Amino acid sequence: MEGVDYLADERKKAEFDVNEMKIVWAGSRHNFELSDRISKLVANDPGFSKEGRTMLPRKELFKNTLRKATYAWKRIIELRLSEEEAAKLRHFVDEPAFTDLHWGMFIPAIKGQGTDEQQKKWLPLAYKMQIIGCYAQTELGHGSNVQGLETTATFDPQTDEFVIHSPTLTSSKWWPGGLGKVSTHAVVYARLITNGKDYGINGFIVQLRSLEDHKPLPGVTVGDIGLKFGNGAYNTMDNGVLRFDHVRIPRDQMLMRVSQVTREGKYVQSDVPRQLLYGTMVYVRQTIVSDASNALSRAVCIATRYSAVRRQFGSQNGGQEIQVIDYKTQQNRLFPLLASAYAFRFVGEWLKWLYTDVTQRLQANDFSTLPEAHACTAGLKSLTTTATADGIEECRKLCGGHGYLCSSGLPELFAVYVPACTYEGDNTVLLLQVARFLMKTVSQLGSGKKPVGTIAYMGRIEHLMQCRSDVKQAKDWLKPSAVVEAFEARAARMSVACAQNLSKFDNPEEGFAELAADLAEAAVAHCQLIVVSKFIEKLQQDIPGEGVKQQLEVLCGIYYLFLLHKHQGDFLGTGYITSKQASLANDQLRALYSQLRPNAISLVDAFNYTDHFLDSILGRYDGNVYPKLYEAAWKDPLNQSDIADGFHEYIRPLLKQQLRTARL
């Protein structure tokens, strides 16, 4: 029946002000109003319909994406949306497209690595979409090892040009989004060679296609790399392959903020660190952390609503069966994911602040916080995307069989999300970057250099190496100081153990390679400490709204106690807690699940997702799941006729043959 809210009873149970929680989730009243307005604008516009997306063949799917992206641009212009509003609109259209790379990487690369003059020339064209750009770094043979890229940019002093060339098959650019079919330009990363010397990787703006007929320019070979995982999903994106055969570009198309090549071909290094060349990656990693909470909360919203609708077992005297959300095992799988979504939201907010701070410092030539910004963005990108990808898959399983249907929204969400574990830095490779940062920090402990920011705790290393938890009863685990010290002691002890083991090797690089698995675990412990600390710090702020802070305290408790339970081995092995204290933590965790249960539906309502954005029958706001699933099945192309194509060709002769055999 239309108009009935099947989750109304659940909503009545809420013990907090949901509208105020919506503002906390959005980050501010301004953000809430913006998201609310733009998400409804998109949801109510048939031009952005998602109907049948997973059933379209690739060519049609891609064409439809081009239509949508262009329509989005048209609406942005017509409605005179600000940059902030336009970004929100693209977000709620919810379809990976070339525009993600144009706005998300091409423009930031020019902003971060271009000189003022270069920005003045290229940015207006890009902002008006008179040129469309992508970020062409990865090659067929190398992605993680950026220094190993093979494309060359050789300076020709005769003509004042760079010659861009792909010397081998493995040097073909491979993967860049938006490259295959749409981009007219790319920021290409290539080895700069001048006066016969190789100066390593630098960025160059290269035109790939004619602005007249969109044909590849002479010397450029470009195309799509082929179908990717999942129906619909990331196949809306034209990830591309690109080869250069001695393509010439003017010298001033080298991005020259970090280093320059003079008219005479002299290479000049600015006084900014070379690592700024990696700046676009730092920026995007930070945005990926914020996005993790979007993807995870979306999956959790679907699984939570469906878990309240779905009933299995336990009916007595013809009464209703039990809602699956009331099974403790379901809660133990679902509620930590709900808590993680909130945790990632707050750490994402904090990381955005850190990034803004480091950007302002860089502009003032203060590079001191760059290593920490790199470690935080790399580590948190790795931690949050791994947990989110695993979490989406867990949500699918939490929805039983129906979760496997595309109409649940979960398979496509997973297929779109899972490459986040790989792109913008493979998650293991990024953890090893954090580990290097930690080992450097430990090695400098005696030097008088005081660790600051997220590694300030290392400054109390002597205490952290010997302290013991003073938890005596389950509720002691609710004390923030007890929790922070536990996570600090675990992270510090794992880092110090790695450093001690490393010191046994004559060659530190060999040691690092040998101990890489332990080092990655130490990096995870450090990153989890950051997330836990930032959640706890958030709770120390003034949070208005009846019951809102209490709910966040429950979520925070679930987040860290679940981690403590899952990584018990670390906490016990490093000797900070006893097995009795671990067991008390688990008792407290169960108690928190019971406190969360009546608020579960309202906590996912606080994400304020429209049904259009969720695109899930199981996650519908009104919980009207079964009639809609039934209806959707009949819309499948297979059900357009009673007799399937191919029946007369294949099945009928088979049946006839069986019939003949039976008669014999």
Ligand X SMILES: CCCCCCCC(=O)SCCNC(=O)CCNC(=O)[C@H](O)C(C)(C)COP(=O)(O)OP(=O)(O)OC[C@H]1O[C@@H](n2cnc3c(N)ncnc32)[C@H](O)[C@@H]1OP(=O)(O)O
Task: Return residues touching ligand FAD (CB under 6 A).
Answer: 101, 135-138, 142-144, 175-177, 234, 239, 419, 422-426, 428-429, 432, 516
105 CB neighbour count, 10 Å cutoff: 26
Q: What is the DSSP string of 101-127?
A: HIIIIIHHHHHHHS-HHHHHHHHHHHH
Judge contact between 249 and 164, C-beta under 8 A: yes
Closest CA to 359 of 286, 292, 453, 452: 286
Q: Which amino acid is at 415?
A: A
Of these, 34, 66, 129, 146, which contacts ligand X (CB under 6 A)? 146
Judge contact between 436 and 511, C-beta under 8 A: no
Q: What is the largest CA-CA distance in the chain?
A: 95
Nearer residue to ligand X within complex by CB, 206 or 325 = 206
For residues 625 and 632, give the distance between their C-alpha atoms in angstroms, rounded to a whole number. 11
Q: Which two tokens stand for residue 523?
A: 């990096």
* Among ligand X, ligand FAD, none, partner that 234 touches (CB below 5 to 8 angstroms by kind): ligand FAD
What is the distance, to the nearest Å, from the Cα of residue 230 to the centroid of all Cα atoms in its chain? 18
* Among ligand X, ligand FAD, none, partner that 433 touches (CB below 5 to 8 angstroms by kind): ligand X
Of these, 28, 44, 144, 312, which contacts ligand X (CB under 6 A)? 144
CB of 384 to ligand FAD, least distance (A): 17
Nearer residue to ligand X within complex by CB, 280 or 624 = 280
Of these, 65, 137, 382, 454, which contacts ligand X (CB under 6 A)? 137
Tell me phi and psi for residue 538, to 5 degrees: -60, -40
For residues 621 and 425, give the distance between their C-alpha atoms in angstroms, rounded to a whole number. 36
E-strand stretches of 568-625: none
Q: Is 278 in the site for ligand X (CB under 6 A)?
A: yes
For residues 339 and 635, give the distance between their C-alpha atoms in angstroms, rounded to a whole number. 36
Of these, 49, 275, 312, 315, which contacts ligand X (CB under 6 A)? 275
Nearer residue to ligand X within complex by CB, 69 or 338 = 69
What Rg, from alpha-carbon coordinates, does the chain have? 27
**SS3 of 335, please?**
helix
Judge contact between 325 and 331, C-beta under 8 A: yes
Count of residues for the chain?
A: 664
CB of 625 to ligand X, least distance (A): 32
* Among ligand X, ligand FAD, none, partner that 112 touches (CB below 5 to 8 angstroms by kind): none
361 CB neighbour count, 10 Å cutoff: 15
CB of 414 to ligand FAD, least distance (A): 13
* Among ligand FAD, ligand X, none, partner that 100 touches (CB below 5 to 8 angstroms by kind): ligand X
Q: Which of 95, 424, 485, 488 is catalytic?
A: 424
For residues 567 and 30, give the distance between their C-alpha atoms in angstroms, rounded to a whole number. 38
Judge contact between 72 and 129, C-beta under 8 A: no
Of these, 190, 258, 301, 370, which contacts ligand X (CB under 6 A)? 370
Site for ligand X in 281-310 (CB under 6 A): 281-282, 284
* Among ligand FAD, ligand X, none, partner that 133 touches (CB below 5 to 8 angstroms by kind): none
Nearer residue to ligand X within complex by CB, 502 or 556 = 502
What is the distance, to the nearest Å, from the Cα of residue 605 to the centroid of all Cα atoms in its chain? 22
Residue tagged 């969720």 (tokens)? 614
* Among ligand X, ligand FAD, none, partner that 239 touches (CB below 5 to 8 angstroms by kind): ligand FAD
Nearer residue to ligand X within complex by CB, 439 or 558 = 439
* Among ligand FAD, ligand X, none, partner that 370 touches (CB below 5 to 8 angstroms by kind): ligand X
Tally of helices (H runs) and strands (E runs) in the chain = 24, 13
CB of 137 to ligand FAD, least distance (A): 3
CB of 174 to ligand FAD, least distance (A): 8
Nearer residue to ligand FAD within complex by CB, 17 or 426 = 426
Q: Which stretch binds ligand X (CB under 6 A): 19-27, 98-106, 315-323, 560-568?
A: 98-106
CB of 273 to ligand FAD, least distance (A): 21
Letters for 173-192 (x = contact with ligand X by CB under 6 A, - = none) are ----x---------------
CB of 139 to ligand FAD, least distance (A): 8
Q: Which stretch binds ligand X (CB under 6 A): 33-41, 221-229, 368-376, 501-509?
A: 368-376
Judge contact between 634 and 16, C-beta under 8 A: no
Q: Is 104 in the site for ligand X (CB under 6 A)?
A: yes
E-strand stretches of 208-344: 220-224, 240-244, 247-250, 259-261, 267-269, 311-312, 322-323
* Among ligand X, ligand FAD, none, partner that 541 touches (CB below 5 to 8 angstroms by kind): none
Nearer residue to ligand FAD within complex by CB, 429 or 629 = 429
For residues 535 and 342, give the distance between their C-alpha atoms in angstroms, rounded to a whole number. 8
Tell me phi and psi for residue 448, to 5 degrees: 90, -10
Q: Is 429 in the site for ligand X (CB under 6 A)?
A: yes
Q: Is 619 in the site for ligand X (CB under 6 A)?
A: no
Judge contact between 184 and 211, C-beta under 8 A: yes
Of these, 62, 106, 135, 562, which contacts ligand X (CB under 6 A)? 135
Q: Is 424 a catalytic residue?
A: yes
Q: Is 379 in the site for ligand X (CB under 6 A)?
A: no
For residues 75 and 72, give the distance between their C-alpha atoms in angstroms, rounded to a whole number. 5
Q: Is 425 in the site for ligand X (CB under 6 A)?
A: yes
For residues 104 and 86, give the distance between their C-alpha atoms in angstroms, rounded to a whole number. 13
User: Would you please indicate which residues are annotated as catalytic (active-site) residues?
Assistant: 424
Instruction: Provide the binding-site residues for ligand X, judged by CB under 6 A.
Output: 100-101, 104-105, 135, 137-138, 143-147, 177, 275, 278, 281-282, 284, 370-371, 374, 423-425, 429, 433, 436
